Amino acid sequence: MLKLTNVNTKIGGFHAIHDVSLEIKQGEFVALLGGNGAGKTTLFRTIAGILNPISGTIEFKGKEIHRKPAHKIVALGLSLCPEGRQLFPQLPVYKNLLLGAYHRKDKKGINETLEEVYELFPILKERRKQLAGTFSGGEQQMLAIARALMSKPDLLLLDEPSMGLAPQLVDSIAEVISNLNKKGMTIFLSEQNAQIALMITQRGYVLENGHLVLEGSSRDLLNNEKVKKAYLGT
């Protein structure tokens, strides 16, 4: 479904992504692990078309997308739930959600997706008129994921959804994401929290200083000495 071949990205003159090649198949749930500044966000922004790679190719569903603008990539079925949520705090919940469907024109379809999203996150329906900025951190993360789903993506990129959340909330977000994958959604999840990411994903990649340095099944990575030392604190 997604294939990167020797992707390099510069940001503000800094060479942040080096020769990254990876592949994600339909239905998979894959982790991207890496510490602060490893390049996770830069890689996701490159895939989503917010940044252009300086070289390499990115294919999504068999089409080259690395020269396409972000809105075209969303329309093809690839949605990024960005780091730090990036909601519109002064807008009510439902308007934030509708912004996730901004490229869609089928009003009926949008309303159907909205109902599906409300079913997944009942709290968003109950509080659809509440301003997003008044939501708690966990609620804002749910809203950010829900907004990303409004485009009806085939592939969902989630950039550090656990960031800044209490352990209990991290667990409930993890459950929501796992359920999305069980229902068939392909998910690429970036996390510094390797423990939680490797518990819920099938396999993973480790990014260090913009280089992919390890890949394997999540079970193998959980037991990998290097991963244990660097990312699991054991």
Phi, psi (degrees; rounded to nearest 5) at 25: -95, 160
Q: Binds 88, which of Mg ion, ligand ATP, none (CB < 5 to 8 A, cut-off by type)? A: none
Q: What are 132-140's contacts with CB under 8 Å, separation 24+?
A: 132/87, 132/88, 132/89, 132/90, 132/91, 132/92, 132/93, 132/96, 133/87, 133/89, 133/90, 134/89, 135/93, 137/164, 137/165, 137/169, 138/165, 138/166, 138/169, 138/172, 138/173, 140/85, 140/87
Interaction between residue 83 and Mg ion (CB under 5 A): yes
Binding site for ligand ATP (CB under 6 A): 11-12, 14, 16, 34, 36-42, 83, 192
CA distance 174 to 138: 11
Q: How far is the CB of 48 from ligand ATP (least distance, A)?
A: 13
**Candidate list 9, 41, 181, 186; residue touching Mg ion; CB under 5 A:** 41
Q: How far is the CB of 1 from Mg ion (least distance, A)?
A: 23
Q: How far is the CB of 111 from ligand ATP (least distance, A)?
A: 35
Q: Binds 120, which of ligand ATP, Mg ion, none (CB < 5 to 8 A, cut-off by type)? A: none
Q: How far is the CB of 35 from Mg ion (least distance, A)?
A: 10
C-beta of 44 vs 94, nearer to ligand ATP: 44
Interaction between residue 208 and Mg ion (CB under 5 A): no
Closest CA to 214 of 200, 198, 199: 198
Q: How far is the CB of 190 from ligand ATP (least distance, A)?
A: 7
The answer to whether the beta carbons of residues 60 and 73 sit under 8 Å apart is yes
In this structure, what DSSP letter does residue 61 have?
Answer: T
Q: Binds 16, which of ligand ATP, Mg ion, none (CB < 5 to 8 A, cut-off by type)? A: ligand ATP
Residue ranges binding Mg ion (CB under 5 A): 40-41, 83
